[in-house]
A and B are shown apart, each in its own frame.
Chain A
């Protein structure tokens, strides 16, 4: 991580001394032996070639967003005009065009809710209310059938609103369930703990694709006869059940790290068991579990894209629709790069937020 400025305090030195310091840094970090010098040379050559190729493809030879298809066909570089042409298809898929604003508004509501959930100090109850309210709002917006909005079938909820809806609300429901499972495992109550261990281990052994299939094929059979369940709801339920096992495993780590003296001290103060869990056990266990939970959140967010395999049209799948168009067939790389950028930035924001949460927690003491 040491950058040039960090490694050598060059500021404030006279010019010649600065050069010497920089030279020393270069020698110790890049050219310390013939082998390191060779490695540096090779890697530099690789980076320069790659960056040059990427720049010529993505910038110099590329057609900008404002370009046309004819220009793209003539150009040898990237066709960013393709992304402008297909932006609505990639973001909302087959959502009916006159109603498209509802898909965007619902996405906006969900993004605002996610930000509020992560950034504002509203406590557990406030967050629960936020989840329910934003969930209802985005569901009604997407679905319609109220306030004169025409109904849009759930198989036409595609792209961005779909992955936001599935990942945000499955995780919001899975987290408390995971905490409950972890507590059940930790409780020492034999029946409950056995159930929790069996559930967590079984779910974690099975691939997510299999779980999604179970949601599509088996979940409807579990309902009473005649009752139907929409695929989106079925997927939401199985995702919740699936992610809960992973969250439970993270929280278990935090519970295990909790010294026994904590609960004993809390008991000696006369706290009831519910109070001990709420005020002493969970705050500390969850704080210890932040890194694991962050990994699970990022993993779950990325893995929600697997719903494409059971025929839900998430971003990967709408991007595929875009470059399946015979007129724009050659530009799959542009679409996949854009989707990759979206995931990279989202996941990076999540880990950045978690990192700050970790620091904040340490500082508070």
Chain B
């Protein structure tokens, strides 16, 4: 008799067209069948469940397991002569990291090494986010291209990455880089003294000689001027319909400011060029091979997934919008930039936020190639201090907070991109 409900629905043509998950409701709504008894008393299932005893039993069971686990933990810790205590954070860590954004030596505390790990995780995630979004945008647009070859190549890329583990990509890329790039003694020297070897990439970096304050002022002045000019151009366009250039004047103004400061001798900027000293590189800014492999592999991996999301967003934009924009004489590029993508963005935002959260979590596979992210310094710290509960609690706290921030960001974007007025 119970399969009866589902079977009845096959006679209702509406359910053939509509979703398969709505047979009974549609059948009732269409009046296609007479309910065998009067309509339900009104209390939906979820409310009826509240009266049952089993939820209580389940809850009690869970609480019981929790209490038992907590008792075991305290007994185990007591037997080892330990208790939950975070004061080890101020002891000397004593181990080194692969790279750090802040000054760090093995003589610093565990608290500082955790901070180093958090910063390394954040910088890797931030660079990956930008690269993966760029790859995803290109791949997503390519997937909707009118060109058969381009479209199918992009699809192949997405399908391939959907079916490969990210750890495999990271390890394969890292091993290939380590083995494929020359030894540091035979490093490839590029323009401006850039050096590429199997230790990583070293780039020349600007060093402010003097006049840092004046430079800072000049840059802020330039940025504010840019904003004002862009606003003025917008107002002018709204009023008259004519568009004045933005990029060129801003660029020229920047160059003039820079040249003025340097030529007048108010500020001085030098370049630090990487140099080989023994087996190390000094000067410039370094990009370690671990960092490069992690960021590249994760960007390629998430680029494929973001590509699929972007494709979905573009396809969700109605075709009429696209055609109307072309009919108005907008170029394909402008149609994409001004008409299709802004509308697609609304569809894209929620799954994209999900991707960014995954991306942040996935930086933790850095451990496999020796990049000192948060989990890799935590793992070393656990082995040294045997404080797994405290350290894992800190890790959980970090990721929970980061996730909350990402969801808050997504909600904010949803709010900004929402359809206004009507």
In-complex Cβ contact of B50 among A32, A189, A266 (8 A): A189
Whether a CB of chain A sits under 8 angstroms from the CB of B419 is: no
Within 8 A of B (CB), among A234-275: 254, 257-271, 273, 275
Q: Contact: B172 with A340, CB < 8 Å?
A: yes
Which among A205, A208, A336 is the interface contact of B168 at CB below 8 angstroms? A336
* Contact indicator B2/A309 (Cβ below 8 Å): no
Q: A32-B146, A210-B395, A268-B37 are in contact. Are A225 and B23 (CB under 8 A)?
A: no
Interface string of B134-159 (1 = CB under 8 A from A): 00000000000111111001000000
**Interface members, chain B 355-381 (any A CB < 8 Å):** 357, 361-362, 364-365, 367-368, 375, 378-379
Contact A44 B149 (CB under 8 A): yes
A261 lies within 8 A of B29 (CB): yes
B19 CB–A CB distance under 8 Å: yes
Contacts of A258 in B (CB 8 A): 21
The yes or no answer to B122 lying at the interface (CB within 8 A) is no
Set of chain A residues within 8 Å of B2, measured between Cβ atoms: 269, 271, 275, 279-280
User: Taking the complex as formed, is B206 at the interface, i.e. its CB lies under 8 A from any CB of chain A?
Assistant: no
B162 — which chain A residues lie within 8 A by C-beta? 298, 347
The reply on A221 being an interface residue by CB < 8 A is: yes
Interface code B372-401, partner A: CB below 8 Å = 1, 0 otherwise? 000100110010000011001001100110
Q: A210-B395, A258-B21, A365-B23 are in contact. Are A187 and B49 (CB under 8 A)?
A: yes
Main secondary structure of the interface of B (DSSP, over half): helix
A-chain residues with CB within 8 Å of residue B382 when the two chains form the complex? 213, 217
Q: Which of B87-120 contact A (CB under 8 A)?
A: none
CB under 8 Å from chain A, chain B span 3-55: 3, 5-6, 9-10, 15-16, 19-25, 28-29, 35-41, 43-50, 52, 55
In terms of DSSP, what is the predominant structure of the interface of chain A?
helix
Establish whether residues B5 and A223, one from each chain, have CB atoms under 8 Å apart when the complex forms. Answer: no
Q: By the criterion CB–CB under 8 Å, are A306 and B167 in contact?
A: yes
**Bound state CA distance, A285 and B21, in angstroms?**
7
Let me know if B20 and A210 touch, CB within 8 A: no
Any A CB within 8 A of the CB of B263: no
A343-B150 in contact given A224-B72, A264-B39 (Cβ < 8 Å) = no
**Which of B75-83, B232-240, B321-329 interfaces with chain A?**
B75-83
In the docked arrangement, what's the CA distance between A258 and B153, Å?
37
Q: A223-B72, A266-B5, A298-B163 are in contact. Are A218 and B392 (CB under 8 A)?
A: yes
Nearest A residue to B375 via CB reads: A209
**Does A302 lie at the interface of the complex (its beta carbon under 8 Å from any beta carbon of B)?**
yes
In the assembled complex, the Cα of A44 lies from the Cα of B162 at a distance in Å of 24
The answer to whether residues A221 and B76 also contact, given A261-B24, A302-B164, A343-B165 and a CB cut-off of 8 A, is yes
Interface centre among A206, A257, A320, A351 (most CB of B within 10 A): A206
Interface of chain A residues 65 through 115 with chain B (CB within 8 A): none
Query: What is the CA–CA distance of A39 and B55 in the complex, to the nearest angstrom?
Result: 61
CB distance from A238 to the nearest CB of B (A): 12
A36 CB-CB contact with B under 8 Å: yes
Which residues of A sit under 8 angstroms from B48, Cβ to Cβ?
Answer: 267, 273
* Residues A24-77 near B (CB distance < 8 A): 29-30, 32, 35-36, 39-40, 43-44, 47
Given contacts A259-B25, A262-B22, A344-B160, A332 and B75 within 8 Å (CB-CB): no
Q: Flag whether B130 is at the interface (Cβ < 8 A).
A: no
Interface flag for B69 (CB, 8 Å): yes
B52 touches A273 (CB 8 A): yes
Contact A221 B368 (CB under 8 A): no
B59 sits at the interface (CB 8 A): yes
Question: Does A268 lie within 8 Å of B375, measured CB to CB?
Answer: no
Q: Does B416 contact A (CB under 8 A)?
A: no
Within 8 A of A (CB), among B163-183: 163-168, 171-172, 175-176, 179
- Select which of A214, A222, A305, A309 is within 8 A of B69 by beta carbon: A222
Task: Decide if A308 touches B167 in the complex (CB within 8 Å).
Answer: yes
In the complex, what residues of B have CB within 8 A of residue A323's CB?
175
Best-buried of A184, A213, A263, A333 by chain B (most CB within 10 Å): A213
Q: Number of contact residues on B: which range applies?
A: 35 or more
Question: B73: CB under 8 A from chain A?
Answer: yes
Residue of B with least CB distance to A272: B48
Q: Determine the chain A residues whose CB is within 8 A of the CB of B45 once the complex forms.
A: 263-264, 266-267, 273, 276-277, 281
Question: Is the CB of B62 closer than 8 A to any CB of chain A?
Answer: yes
Q: A30-B149, A303-B165, A347-B162 are in contact. Are A262 and B59 (CB under 8 A)?
A: no
B403 within 8 A of A: yes
Check B150 against A43 for contact (C-beta < 8 Å).
yes
State the CA gap A351–B44 with chains docked (Å): 36
> Chain B residues near A14 (CB, 8 Å)?
none
- Nearest CB of chain A from residue B152's CB, rounded to whole Å: 8
Interchain nearest-CB distance for A323 vs B (Å): 8
A139 sits at the interface (CB 8 A)? no
> CB < 8 Å: which of B20, B69, B368, B388 contacts A362?
B20
In the complex, are the beta carbons of A36 and B147 less than 8 A apart? yes
Q: A162 on the interface (CB 8 Å rule)?
A: no
Option from B3, B25, B79 in Cβ contact (under 8 Å) with A265: B25
Q: Are B75 and A224 in touch, CB under 8 angstroms?
A: yes
A210: chain B residues within 8 A (beta carbon)? 364, 375, 392, 395-396, 399
Give B52-73 as 1s and 0s: 1 = Cβ < 8 Å from A's Cβ atoms.
1001101100100000010011
Instruction: Judge whether B392 and A265 touch: CB under 8 Å.
Output: no
Q: Judging by beta carbons under 8 Å apart, are B164 and A336 in contact?
A: no
When distances are taken between beta carbons in the complex, the residues of chain B under 8 Å from A188 are 46-47, 49-50
Pick the residue among B147, B176, B396 that contacts A202 (CB under 8 A). B396
A267-B45, A305-B168, A336-B171 as given contacts; A187 in contact with B147, CB under 8 Å:
no
Other than A332-B172, A344-B163, A347-B164, give 4 A-B pairs with Cβ distance below 8 A. Answer: A188-B46, A188-B49, A222-B72, A262-B24
- 8 chain-A/chain-B pairs, Cβ below 8 angstroms: A188-B46, A207-B399, A209-B364, A261-B24, A268-B40, A273-B52, A276-B45, A336-B172
The 10 closest A-B pairs by CB, nearest first: A261-B25, A188-B46, A217-B388, A347-B163, A207-B361, A29-B148, A259-B25, A336-B172, A205-B403, A302-B165
Tell me the B residues contacting A by CB distance below 8 Å.
1-3, 5-6, 9-10, 15-16, 19-25, 28-29, 35-41, 43-50, 52, 55-56, 58-59, 62, 69, 72-73, 75-77, 79, 145-150, 153, 160, 162-168, 171-172, 175-176, 179, 332, 357, 361-362, 364-365, 367-368, 375, 378-379, 382, 388-389, 392, 395-396, 399-400, 402-403
Show the binding face of A for B, using Cβ within 8 Å. Answer: 2, 29-30, 32, 35-36, 39-40, 43-44, 47, 184, 186-192, 195, 202, 205-210, 213-214, 217-218, 221-225, 254, 257-271, 273, 275-277, 279-281, 283-285, 287-288, 298, 302-303, 305-306, 308-309, 316, 320, 323, 330, 332-333, 336, 339-340, 343-344, 347-348, 351, 361-362, 365
